[in-house]
Structure 1
């Protein structure tokens, strides 16, 4: 059963300007494993985190570092959730989260589907 869906789009040029203007932004928004990626990949991961928050319904108590985007063994993106982010899923009865991301034509986009039992 679908418990929530979320989508987010990030303007790549605007995101890059924000990263350049705010030196601490990358360390504030991304887990250490995400920080060395190209700006278009960071933008897609930011969109993924925003989409997850929308799928959950709110972000109460969840921090950016608790929503880590990693690749599964086949190279597909997935969330590695920690702390309050993991607890939020459990509290809502969410048993799996599906994530897809893309970047093209100056934007990065992510879509999340949260599933759980009825």
Structure 2
């Protein structure tokens, strides 16, 4: 049963400015996410998609970052076929219990967008 949905859209140029700041990268993205994104010619597109996905997931969960949730509690990596997959930290799993979250992300020249569906 669907318990929540979330969406987010972000300007890639905003993320491009922020990823020049190493402390932003380390605050928001895991080491594996950083490594993945930096392997692309335009890493800001990949970072923006993951940023939007994390926002969409938090919206689908109906909780905010003020609840003790951290950006890196949500990790988005791609499987061998390129499909984004969600990895939740133990901290987050303890807060929300056993859930199934589907995500999709996309980007074009100027924007990245993500959707999340929460099932219980």
Output aligned runs, 1:27-38, within 5 Å: 27-36=26-35, 37=37, 38=43
CA distance in structure 2 between the partners assigned to 1:87 and 1:18 by the alignment: 30
TM-score between the two structures when normalised by the length of structure 2: 0.86
Count, aligned residues:
112
Q: Supply the RMSD in Å over aligned alpha carbons.
A: 1.4
Deviations 1:60-103 (A, max 9, x none): 1211111000123432112100122222330xxx5311000000
Structure 1: tracts of 5 or more residues without a match: none
TM-score between the two structures when normalised by the length of structure 1: 0.87
Deviations 1:31-70 (A, max 9, x none): 0101131111011000000001000101312111110001
Aligned to 2:23: 24
Aligned to 1:11: 11
Structure 2: tracts of 5 or more residues without a match: 38-42
